[in-house]
Structure 1
C-alpha cells in the first residue's frame, strides 16, 4: 500500500521552508534585507517564472469574443443574436466592414471554423504567431457534470452560481464570497522559498484581490507610481528631517504591548519593502519600461490612454527588478471592469475588446526586450472572469451565464490552438443550462492546475491548492510547453 503524506505534515514542511526564506530574526513578517544583495547576484533570468492573472470583472460575453463561424454555427448565431430591436448584438460576418476576424487553429475540430471579435486584431496576431491560445468553455465545477445532472441537482455544484461577487471569488479561490485565500496566493505560499525576499511573491497592480491572498504570504500592492509610501517617514516633515526621523521612530519603535508591537512590525515591514521596491523596480518611460501607446476607441476613432496597459507596464517594471527583489517565482494580478454588459453591449464590448487586445500586445512586446532579455517564455498571462453570459440577447445586451472562453498568452504557451471541444452554437443543446448559458466542459481547477504545473508545483502541491482536481481525470490540459 502506498503511503500518501497527509496534508498537515506537508503544510508543516512548507511553512518551515518559507520561514527559512523569510528569516527568523526580528519582528513578525520583517524583511530579511541582508539577503537581498545575495539574492540579486544569484537570480538567474533562466530560472525566473511569473504568472499574471488578467481578470475581466463583470462577466465577459465569450460568445462575441471567440465565435464559431462555420455555416451551421453562424446561422444559429445570427438568428439568435440579431434581434428586431436597434440594440442587436450580432457582429458582422468576416469580410464585411467591422467583421469578425477568422483564426485557423492547429488542431482541426471537424466541421468547425472560428473567428475573434473584430476589436481583437492585435490578439489575433499573437494567436497566429503561436504565442496565444484559446481555452474553450471554462468555468467553476466541483466535478464533471452533465446537463441532466445539473437539472436534477444530482451532483455537487458550485455554490451561488450567476452571482457576481460569489463567482469572482470562486474563480479566484475555489470558494464563494468571504474566502480568505486565493489559489494564486496558495501557489505563492508553496514557492516563496525560492525567493530571496518573500514579500514580493504575490503582487497586485489592481488593488486588493483574494486571488493573491496566501495563508502565509501577504499580497503586495503597487500602482503606476510604484510602491505606496507612508507619508512623512522619509525626507523632510514640517520642513525638517528631524521630524521624519521622529515619526519613523514613533511608528517602528519597540513596544511592550503585544498589539502595538505587531503594529510597529507591520509598519516597519511596509517601510522597508517600499525602500527595496523603489530601488529595484524599473522606471517607466524611455529610461526603463516603455510607456504604452494610446489605443483607438473603435466607436469614436479617438486615441485614448489604456489603464489596463498601464497596469501591465507596472507588472513589467516589477519583473524587470526581479534581481534586486531576489525573485524567482512571482504571481501578479491585473484587472479591467465594465464587462457586466446588460445594456449597450455592442458598443461597450467593442471598446473593452480593443483595450484588452492593445494591452496584451503591449505586454508581449515589452517582455520581448525587457532589460535586454526576452522574457516571454518565462511569463504567462491568462484571462479570468466572473462567468460567461447568456447566448440569448435581452434586446440590447446579455445576462449572467456560467462557462466562457479564455485566453492564455506567453512564449511557453502552445499557441495557435483551441483547447477543449468548442461548444455547439445555439440553444437547447447538451451544454445549454438555460438561455444559452454554457455548462462548463473544463473546470477552473483544470485550467489553473495546468498553469501551476508549468509554474513548478508538484502533483501533491497541486492537489493541496485545488481541492476539486482529484475529481477530474485530465489534470493537465496540455496548453503549456
Structure 2
C-alpha cells in the first residue's frame, strides 16, 4: 500500500472509529469487570433554562425578574412551589409513577459560562480550573470496559465524555453504515500490509489492532442487533431517532453499558419561549416513547437515564426576550425503584443569588456521577471521579 494513501485512509478511519491513544488498553482491560446495569445519557446542549423547565410558579421574584418571559399559563403544578413546563406533560406519568427524580441546583464551584469550557468540565468531571484530556465515561471504560462497543454514542463524532486515556467508545448514528464502512477494502489492505516497513518505521503498528477492534465492534453491533421494527411509535425528529436506536440496542441485549445521546439548540439568548417549548416537547415526547419501548421489552428496570445541560440561564431575562448564560441547573434521573423520586431537593433561593445573578449550586454534578457509578453501575469510582465527591440517595 502506498504510504501516502495509508496515512490518508488512516485519518478517515480515525474519524470514523476514534482510535485510542494506546492500543495496549485493549489488552489491559480485557479482564476487567463491567457494571451490571445500563446508563443512557441525554445532553441538552446549549444551556437549557432550568427556571422555565421546572417553574417556581408561586414565587413573585421569578415573575418580577421575567416580566415577559416567565411562564404563567398551563403550568403542570407538581407541588405548592414547583411545576413542569407544559411541554413536559409526557413526563407526568413518570413523575406520578415514582420513576423520575429531579435534582435542583446542580453545578460546581467557580462556574464557567462558556459553552465549550463548561461542557468540557461536565464531560471530564474536572474542577473549573483543571484541564483533563479524558472523559468520565472514558475513564470508566479504561477501568471496567472490554470492547469499544461497551459504550456507544449516537452521533458521527465522539464526545470528550466518551474518550478515555487509553480506551474510547464507538460513535455512530447508523450501525448499518458503520458495518458497511468496516467492510471497506481499506481495512483488508491494512491487514495485508501490516508488516510493511513503513508501518514499523513510523510506529503505526498500534493502528492495526485498533482497526481490528473497531471492525470487530461494528460486526458485533450489526450481527447482534435484532432486525425488527419497534412496536413503539416515536416522534419524527433526530433526537427520537437516537433514542429509538438505543432502545433497539438495549432490547437486542448488546453488551453495551453506556449510551450517549444529545439534543441541541438550548442557547436561547433571544425569543426563548417558542424555541424552548419546541425543544422540551421533543425531549419529553421522545423520552416518554423510549421508556415505553423499554417497558414493553422488559428492559426498563435495568436502565437509568440521566439528563443534564452544561449550565442553566440567568434568573433575570434580557432585553431580547431571552436569557443569558447562568450556572446551577436541574438534572433529571429516570429509572425504576428510585430511592427518592419526585423532587430530590428544593429550588435554591431566588433572593440569594451569586454575584452574577445566578442560582447558587447545592449539588456538585460529580456527586451525581459518583452515585451513578457506585450505586447503579456497581463499580468503584477510583480513578474516575475525585474521591472527595460524596454519593447521593436518589438510587
CA contact (8 A) 2:38 2:377 kept: no
CA contact (8 A) 2:32 2:143 kept: no
CA RMSD of aligned residues (A): 2.6
How many residues in Structure 1 have an aligned counterpart in Structure 2?
A: 362
The aligned counterpart of 1:169 is: 120
Return the alpha-carbon distance in structure 2 between the equivalents of residues 79 and 463 of structure 1.
Answer: 46
Return the alpha-carbon distance in structure 2 between the equivalents of residues 232 and 308 of structure 1.
Answer: 25
Matched, 1:139 2:107: yes
Return the alpha-carbon distance in structure 2 between the equivalents of residues 418 and 291 of structure 1.
Answer: 29
Name the SS of the counterpart of 1:436 in structure 2.
Answer: coil
CA contact (8 A) 1:121 1:357 kept: yes
The aligned counterpart of 1:249 is: 188
Would the alpha carbon gap of residues 378 and 310 (structure 1) be closer, same or farther in structure 2, given more than 3 Å must change?
Answer: same
Alpha-carbon shift at residue 279 of structure 1 (Å): 0.6
CA contact (8 A) 1:132 1:414 kept: no
CA contact (8 A) 1:202 1:220 kept: yes
Name the SS of the counterpart of 1:228 in structure 2.
Answer: helix
Alpha-carbon shift at residue 230 of structure 1 (Å): 5.5
Return the alpha-carbon distance in structure 2 between the equivalents of residues 443 and 410 of structure 1.
Answer: 21
Give the alignment partner of residue 330 of structure 2, picking from 400, 405, 418. 405
Return the alpha-carbon distance in structure 2 between the equivalents of residues 439 and 53 of structure 1.
Answer: 24
> Which runs of 5 or more residues in structure 2 are unaligned?
1-24
The aligned counterpart of 1:37 is: none
Q: What is the correspondence of 1:21-420 to structure 2 with a 5 Å cutoff?
A: 48-70=36-58, 73=59, 75-82=60-67, 88-93=68-73, 99-104=74-79, 112-141=80-109, 157=110, 161-175=112-126, 179-192=132-145, 197-206=146-155, 207-226=157-176, 228-229=178-179, 231=181, 233=183, 244=185, 247-253=186-192, 254-255=194-195, 256=197, 257-258=199-200, 259-283=203-227, 287-290=228-231, 292-294=233-235, 305-322=236-253, 325=254, 327=255, 330-370=257-297, 374-395=298-319, 396-414=321-339, 416-420=341-345
Return the alpha-carbon distance in structure 1 between the equivalents of residues 190 and 159 of structure 2.
Answer: 27
Return the alpha-carbon distance in structure 1 between the equivalents of residues 318 and 171 of structure 2.
Answer: 38
Return the alpha-carbon distance in structure 2 between the equivalents of residues 225 and 291 of structure 1.
Answer: 20
CA contact (8 A) 2:55 2:71 kept: no
CA contact (8 A) 1:138 1:406 kept: yes
Return the alpha-carbon distance in structure 2 between the equivalents of residues 381 and 60 of structure 1.
Answer: 17
Alpha-carbon shift at residue 275 of structure 1 (Å): 1.4
The aligned counterpart of 2:31 is: 20
Alpha-carbon shift at residue 418 of structure 1 (Å): 1.0
Alpha-carbon shift at residue 435 of structure 1 (Å): 5.1
CA contact (8 A) 2:308 2:330 kept: no
Q: Deviations over 1:125-183 (max 9, x none)?
A: 21111111100110123xxxxxxxxxxxxxxx35xx11110000101112369632111
Return the alpha-carbon distance in structure 2 between the equivalents of residues 20 and 174 of structure 1.
Answer: 26
Name the SS of the counterpart of 1:63 in structure 2.
Answer: helix
Q: Using the TM superposition, name which of 397-406 and 307-316 deviates more.
A: 307-316
Return the alpha-carbon distance in structure 2 between the equivalents of residues 91 and 422 of structure 1.
Answer: 16
Return the alpha-carbon distance in structure 2 between the equivalents of residues 419 and 407 of structure 1.
Answer: 10
Return the alpha-carbon distance in structure 1 between the equivalents of residues 231 and 165 of structure 2.
Answer: 35
CA contact (8 A) 1:21 1:198 kept: no
Q: Deviations over 1:290-331 (max 9, x none)?
A: 46433xxxxxxxxxx221111111111222233xx4x2x611
Name the SS of the counterpart of 1:20 in structure 2.
Answer: coil
Would the alpha carbon gap of residues 289 and 188 (structure 1) be closer, same or farther in structure 2, given more than 3 Å must change?
Answer: farther
Matched, 1:462 2:386: no
> Which runs of 5 or more residues in structure 1 are unaligned?
1-13, 23-42, 83-87, 94-98, 105-111, 142-156, 235-243, 295-304
Return the alpha-carbon distance in structure 2 between the equivalents of residues 68 and 130 of structure 1.
Answer: 21
